[in-house]
């Protein structure tokens, strides 16, 4: 990993497009955690704190897990810790767990303005995150991927290509924690990490950025957390802020914001053109061509050639909950795009299908972003829009603002079941029905996976 030392070495040979990314330079080993009192803040209902808790126990730390949620809401995560010597304080925080610890490991979802974190800071207790612990100890070069749209798919595509070059592990915001895999990750491997803005916020604590940093794009998201686009962008920039002169930043040449970030890069910059020299893909849409171009640009830093990338990407079938084909019913095809939690992502999904052929199911938790551009796109291209959840009225108003005639049909549903039924009534042979919410799921579901699984179950039960 890069620790912001621009004098570490010369950049890679730009003619070959391959950086010196074989073995990370030696750094002082992190301090031992054996015997240390460590508080994990945020176990999470979906195992977010399980991996790091298990790993900390394996390092000999005395671990306390603190979470505001009661045990009955965390039962699956608690069961995953069965047999470990862990103290669980659930259903509320105890300030002493924060101020008497020797280290806090904080889940990225925990608000930065938590009074308990402030108390720990006043007591001089250092904090870190699972990703930071991993980056400090990983011997292999790391590819980090971030962006507002497409980062999960791009991460998976990079892994699909690179596994043909050398042993490759994929993790971060996609999949499971890689901390427990550290002993098996050698210097000649490569690790690909999807990194959210929440995870990137805390990279300054360790001053580490990935050797190859990929930024797919930038659009408004998580403004309920970051407050402004400037703060959101600043968090994203941590993915390259601590690189050295020999590292690589991969940017989207077509993104008006991201494409300018190269001027701030400590290392070499590679731009990818989303529409250049298309790959033959199974997954639909111009956005997946953009993801493929980003993946190919990153993978070639490790010696992957174009035929190798094409062969790997040609077999890539997509990720669950990301514009994934589910089933065909009465001539209409149903797609689960539950991972789409931004208006821009929903526009991308809409544009993957012919105009007036997409029936869109939309709405969810309010992240305080504008739906105006989404409303314009839906008014211009959608066949029907079915809204539900907290943001239903906002999305409907945005569509109505831009609608010039009776298209698209605009409907309101009380729940996902009724939304699917209405969508089935609107869809004809050749149409596509998309669960592409443009919003997070927390108003009606535990997470986007729960929402996507519910959609899959409902559409699979539709008459053939």
Residue 21 confidence (pLDDT) above 80: no
Q: Provide the token pair at 104.
A: 């806090």
Confidence of residue 176 (pLDDT cuts 50, 70, 90): confident
Residue 24 confidence (pLDDT) above 70: no
- Digit-coded pLDDT (tens) for 315-372: 998 888 989 899 999 999 999 999 999 898 899 899 999 999 999 999 999 988 899 9
Residue 295 confidence (pLDDT) above 70: yes
36 by Cβ neighbours in 10 Å (0-12 / 13-18 / 19+) ranks as: middle
Confidence of residue 219 (pLDDT cuts 50, 70, 90): confident
- Digit-coded pLDDT (tens) for 428-462: 999 999 999 999 998 899 889 999 999 999 999 99
**By the 8 A CB rule, do 41 and 116 touch?**
yes
Query: What average pLDDT does this structure show over 75-81?
Result: 92
Q: Mean pLDDT of all residues in the chain?
A: 91
Please tell me the predicted confidence (pLDDT) of residue 44.
83
Please tell me the predicted confidence (pLDDT) of residue 39.
98
Residue 218 confidence (pLDDT) above 90: yes
Dihedrals phi, psi of 47, to nearest 5 degrees: 85, 15
Please tell me the predicted confidence (pLDDT) of residue 450.
94
Q: Provide the token pair at 345.
A: 């992502």
H/E stretch holding 286 reads: helix 286-299
Domains and their CATH numbers in the chain: 37-128 (3.40.50.720), 132-314 (3.40.1190.10), 324-460 (3.90.190.20)
Residue 223 confidence (pLDDT) above 70: no
**By the 8 A CB rule, do 297 and 157 touch?**
no
- Measured distance CA(391)–CA(398) in Å, rounded: 11
């Amino acid at each position: 990993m890069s620790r912001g030392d621009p004098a570490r070495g010369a950049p890679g040979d730009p003619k070959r497009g391959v950086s010196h990314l074989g073995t990370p330079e030696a750094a002082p080993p992190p301090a031992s955690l054996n015997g240390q009192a460590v508080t994990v803040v945020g176990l999470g209902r979906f195992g977010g704190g399980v991996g790091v808790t298990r790993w900390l126990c394996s390092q000999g730390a005395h671990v306390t897990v603190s979470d505001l949620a009661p045990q009955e809401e965390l039962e699956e995560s608690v069961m995953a810790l069965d047999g470990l010597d862990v103290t669980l304080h659930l259903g509320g925080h105890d300030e002493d767990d924060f101020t008497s610890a020797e280290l806090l490991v904080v889940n990225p979802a925990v608000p930065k303005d938590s009074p308990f974190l402030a108390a720990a800071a006043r007591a001089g207790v250092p904090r870190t995150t699972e990703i930071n612990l991993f980056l400090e100890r990983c011997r292999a070069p790391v590819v980090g991927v971030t962006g507002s749209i497409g980062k999960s798919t791009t991460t998976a595509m990079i892994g699909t290509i690179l596994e043909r070059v050398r042993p490759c592990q994929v993790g971060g915001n996609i999949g499971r924690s890689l901390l427990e895999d550290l002993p098996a990750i050698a210097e000649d491997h490569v690790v690909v990490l999807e990194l959210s803005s929440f995870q990137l916020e805390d990279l300054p604590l360790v001053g580490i950025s990935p050797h190859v940093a990929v930024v797919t794009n930038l659009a408004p998201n998580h403004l309920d957390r970051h407050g402004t686009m400037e703060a959101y962008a600043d968090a994203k920039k941590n993915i390259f802020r601590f690189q050295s002169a020999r590292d690589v930043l991969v940017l989207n040449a077509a993104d008006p914001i991201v494409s300018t970030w190269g001027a701030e890069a400590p290392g070499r910059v590679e731009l990818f053109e989303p529409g250049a020299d298309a790959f033959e893909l199974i997954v639909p849409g111009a956005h997946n061509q953009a993801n493929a171009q980003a993946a190919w640009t990153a993978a070639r830093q490790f010696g992957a050639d174009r035929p190798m990338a094409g062969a790997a990407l040609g077999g890539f079938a997509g990720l669950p909950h990301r514009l994934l084909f589910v089933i065909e019913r009465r001539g209409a095809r149903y797609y689960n795009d539950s991972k789409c939690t931004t208006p821009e992502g929903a526009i991308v999904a809409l544009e993957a299908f012919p105009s007036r052929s997409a029936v869109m199911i939309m709405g969810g938790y309010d992240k305080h972003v504008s739906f105006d551009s989404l409303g314009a796109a839906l008014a211009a291209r959608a066949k029907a829009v079915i809204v539900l959840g907290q943001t239903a009225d906002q999305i409907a108003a945005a569509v109505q603002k831009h609608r010039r005639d009776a298209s698209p049909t605009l409907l309101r549903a009380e729940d996902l079941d009724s939304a699917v039924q209405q969508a089935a009534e609107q869809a004809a042979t050749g149409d596509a029905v998309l669960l592409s919410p443009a919003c997070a799921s927390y108003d009606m579901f535990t997470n986007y996976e729960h929402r996507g699984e519910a959609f899959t179950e409902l559409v699979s039960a539709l008459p053939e």
